[in-house]
């Protein structure tokens, strides 16, 4: 108030300018920054003296060199020095260079970001010109809203992918993982899910993919949904810092739209590559590995990222998270798969053997679960799915026996029904990315079973539905 009054009184004069400057520097964003200087340099990190008391873990610092200003993240703080991981590898660093504190890394999402592809620094990389900064910058290291203030997850939605809508239906605000080895069909399934109609915005983090795959994903699969989608990309040739930041930037963008009331779909492909990036950064900072080469920070960062998805506080929108997890050598017990499974509200398991049979999407309906399926199913549907699962289970467990001719039709009515109906069910579950999303997967299934059973077959309980 005082400053404003002075400003009015001496409008335009020297005193006025001084008051303006004083008001400006009272804002923490413009306050004088703390600085230090580079002490040692190693591959992957450098250390800085003079900042230990002024920075926090995870904050950013700016290093000034002959080629400009380069950002780095504080990955370790000791009494005399801090360890910094530079964002861009190969920047020229010299002993004694000046390093200043920047604080948290912030992005300022805006409605105009829809349809755009950006990198982890929030810069456009799609050649469509500059992007506008939103009015509300947000730290990418944000934390999740307190759990008791969040609204509940209970509204089902249709994904348009039959195998999921029937066996493991999802709810808005759910966190789902897709687990599979490489080349089994994770990215393709994610791209099919990205087209679900239930969402106002789709925010996609592509981490550690090859550049070619990224273009394919964005151009081919999003297609008509591009206008409500934002992609944040860090390809495999980028620094571990940039790969680590991509999902954090993406979830921050998703939070921005959720707080505006949107139902947002957050997709991360793949979370394993995100974990690898965290591992690379941590190892460079000297953090000891605890599980299969992964340092402890991996297992704290993963829940922190996923916890930020979910419903917002009452009155805002939701973030539904669908993430892919690469299981090394199809070993579903690797530490990343293990630790993420516990944080998620469901997992879809893709089997290489189904892919080899050409049964795409290769979803194993018996191994996949949605912990919120009950909220999405009607009572009838729940009963039906339980019946379908037991048929599929019966069919699969007798597969070898039947192959060697060890089963004679007619001796087990349940198995006879499974033999008749399961191949029809499998056929209904097949779906290519080019196909239109299904509106009612149950109706498709019922129609197919009815057609296969022939009209009025009294044996088939399901076909009569």
Ligand X SMILES: Nc1ncnc2c1ncn2[C@@H]1O[C@H](COP(=O)(O)OP(=O)(O)O)[C@@H](O)[C@H]1O
Site for ligand X in 432-461 (CB under 6 A): 432-433
Q: Which is nearer to ligand X, 145 or 361 (CB)?
A: 361
Q: Which of the stretches 149-157, 181-189, 260-268, 344-352 binds Mg ion when contact is defined by CB under 5 A?
A: 181-189
In the complex with Mg ion, the residue whose CB is nearer, 184 or 385, is 184
Q: Which of 254, 156, 248, 246 has the alpha carbon at shortest distance from 196?
A: 156
Burial (Cβ within 10 Å: 0-12, 13-18, ≥19) of residue 242: buried
Stretch of 66-74, 88-96, 418-426, 429-437 contacting ligand X, by CB under 6 A: 429-437
For residue 448, the SS3 value is: helix
Residue from 186, 243, 244, 279 touching ligand X (CB under 6 A): that is 186
Q: From the list ligand X, Mg ion, none, which binds 432 (C-beta under 5 to 8 Å, kind-based)?
A: ligand X
Shortest distance, position 220 Cβ to ligand X, whole Å:
11
In the complex, the smallest distance separating the C-beta of residue 22 from ligand X, rounded to whole angstroms, is 56
- The residue written with tokens 């579903």 in the block is 332
- How many angstroms separate the CA atoms of 136 and 117, rounded? 20
Query: Which regions of 135-276 does DSSP assign to beta strands (E)?
Result: 138-139, 156-157, 170-171, 175-180, 201-207, 229-234, 263-269
272 binds ligand X (CB under 6 A): no
Among 117, 120, 174, 188, binds ligand X (CB under 6 A): 188
Per CB under 5 A, the list member of 187, 221, 340, 431 interacting with Mg ion is 187
Binding partner selected for residue 331 from Mg ion, ligand X, none, CB under the kind-specific 5 to 8 Å limit: none
Neighbours of 379 (CB within 10 A): 8
Q: How far is the CB of 183 from ligand X (least distance, A)?
A: 4
Does residue 360 interact with ligand X by CB under 6 A? yes
Q: Min. distance of Cβ 209 from Mg ion in angstroms?
A: 6
Residues 377-416, mask of contacts with ligand X (x by CB under 6 A) = ----------------------------------------
Neighbours of 109 (CB within 10 A): 28
Say if CB 246 and CB 267 are below 8 A apart: no
180 counts as binding ligand X under rule CB under 6 A: yes
Single out the residue of 182, 386, 390, 447 in contact with ligand X (rule: CB under 6 A): 182
Only segment of 130-138, 185-193, 259-267, 454-462 that touches ligand X (CB under 6 A) = 185-193
> Residue 43, exposed/middle/buried by CB under 10 A (0-12, 13-18, 19+)?
exposed
CA distance 201 to 259: 12
Q: Of Mg ion, ligand X, none, which one does residue 413 interact with (CB within 5 to 8 Å by kind)? A: none
**Least distance from C-beta 213 to ligand X, angstroms?**
7
Residues 6+ apart with CB under 8 A from 157: 170, 171, 172, 196, 198, 320, 376
Strand partners, 74: 84
Query: Toward ligand X, which CB reaches closer, 183 or 458?
Result: 183
333 to 83, 294, 298, 369: CA distances (angstroms): 33, 14, 16, 17
In the complex with ligand X, the residue whose CB is nearer, 37 or 215, is 215
What's the min distance (Å) between Cβ of 283 and Mg ion? 24
Two tokens, residue 25: 């520097």
Q: Which is nearer to ligand X, 183 or 456 (CB)?
A: 183
Distance CA 69, CA 62 (A): 6
By the 8 A CB rule, do 186 and 326 touch?
yes
Q: Which of 246, 264, 267 is nearest to 255 (CA)?
A: 264
- Smallest gap from Cβ 62 to ligand X, in A, equals 36
Contacting range for Mg ion; rule: CB under 5 A; set: 81-89, 179-187, 279-287, 438-446: 179-187
Q: Per CB under 6 A, does 331 bind ligand X?
A: no
Cα 241 to Cα 235: distance, rounded to the nearest angstrom: 12
Which one of ligand X, Mg ion, none is in contact with 45 (Cβ closer than 5 to 8 A by kind)? none
User: And the tokens for 84?
Assistant: 């910094």
Q: Which does 180 bind (CB under 5 to 8 A by kind): Mg ion, ligand X, none?
A: ligand X
Binding flag, residue 184, ligand X (CB under 6 A):
yes
Q: Among 193, 244, 188, 196, which Cα is nearest to 73's?
A: 244
Which positions from 230 through 269 interact with ligand X, judged by CB under 6 A? none
Region of 80-88, 181-189, 370-378, 417-425 interacting with ligand X (CB under 6 A): 181-189
Question: Which residues have CB under 8 Å from 208's CB, separation 6+?
Answer: 234, 235, 236, 243, 270, 273, 274, 276, 277
- Tell me how long the chain is: 465
The footprint of ligand X on this chain (CB under 6 A) covers a number of residues equal to 13
364 lines the binding site for ligand X (CB under 6 A): no
Rg (CA), the chain: 27
Phi, psi at 221, each rounded to 5°: -90, -40
Interface residues toward ligand X, by CB under 6 A: 180, 182-188, 360-361, 431-433
Interface residues toward Mg ion, by CB under 5 A: 187
């Amino acid at each position: 108030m005082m400053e404003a009054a002075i400003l009015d009184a001496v409008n335009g004069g020297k005193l006025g300018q001084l008051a303006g400057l004083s008001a400006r520097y009272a804002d923490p964003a413009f306050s004088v920054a703390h600085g230090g200087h580079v002490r040692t340099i190693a591959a992957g990190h450098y250390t800085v003296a003079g900042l230990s008391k002024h920075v926090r873990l995870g904050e950013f610092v700016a290093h000034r060199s002959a080629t400009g200003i380069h950002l780095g993240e504080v990955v370790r703080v000791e009494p005399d020095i801090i360890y910094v991981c530079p964002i861009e590898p190969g920047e020229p660093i010299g002993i004694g260079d000046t390093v200043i504190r920047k604080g948290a890394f912030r992005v300022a999402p805006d409605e105009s970001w829809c349809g755009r592809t950006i990198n982890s620094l929030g810069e456009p990389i799609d050649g469509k010109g500059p992007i506008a900064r939103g009015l509300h910058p947000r730290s990418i290291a944000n934390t999740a809203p307190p759990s008791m203030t969040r609204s509940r997850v209970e509204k089902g939605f249709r994904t348009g992918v039959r195998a999921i809508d029937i066996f493991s239906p999802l709810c808005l605000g759910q966190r789902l993982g897709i687990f599979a080895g490489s080349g089994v069909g994770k990215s393709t399934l994610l791209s099919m899910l990205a087209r679900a109609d239930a969402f106002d915005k789709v925010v996609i983090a592509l981490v550690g993919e090859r550049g070619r795959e990224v273009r394919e994903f964005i151009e081919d699969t999003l297609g008509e949904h591009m206008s409500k989608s934002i992609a944040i990309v860090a390809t495999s040739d980028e620094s571990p810092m940039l790969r680590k930041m991509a999902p954090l930037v993406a979830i921050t963008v998703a939070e921005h739209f959720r707080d505006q009331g949107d139902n947002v779909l957050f997709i991360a492909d793949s979370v394993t590559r995100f974990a690898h990036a965290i591992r690379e950064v941590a190892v460079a900072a000297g953090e000891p590995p605890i599980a299969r080469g992964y340092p402890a920070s991996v297992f704290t960062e993963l829940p922190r990222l996923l916890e930020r998805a979910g419903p917002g506080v009452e009155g805002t929108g939701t973030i539904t998270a669908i993430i892919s997890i690469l299981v090394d050598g199809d070993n579903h017990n690797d530490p990343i798969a293990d630790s993420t499974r516990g944080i998620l509200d469901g997992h879809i398991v893709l089997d290489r053997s189904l892919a080899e049979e050409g049964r795409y999407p290769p979803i194993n309906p018996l191994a996949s679960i949605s912990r919120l399926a009950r909220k999405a199913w009607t009572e009838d549907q729940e009963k039906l799915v339980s019946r379908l699962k037991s048929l599929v289970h019966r069919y699969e467990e007798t597969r070898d026996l039947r192959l060697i001719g060890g089963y004679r039709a007619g001796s087990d009515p349940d198995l006879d029904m499974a033999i008749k109906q399961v191949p029809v069910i499998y056929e209904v579950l097949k779906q290519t990315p080019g196909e239109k999303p299904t509106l009612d997967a149950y109706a498709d299934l019922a129609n197919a079973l009815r057609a296969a059973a022939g009209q009025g077959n009294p044996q088939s309980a399901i076909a009569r539905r």
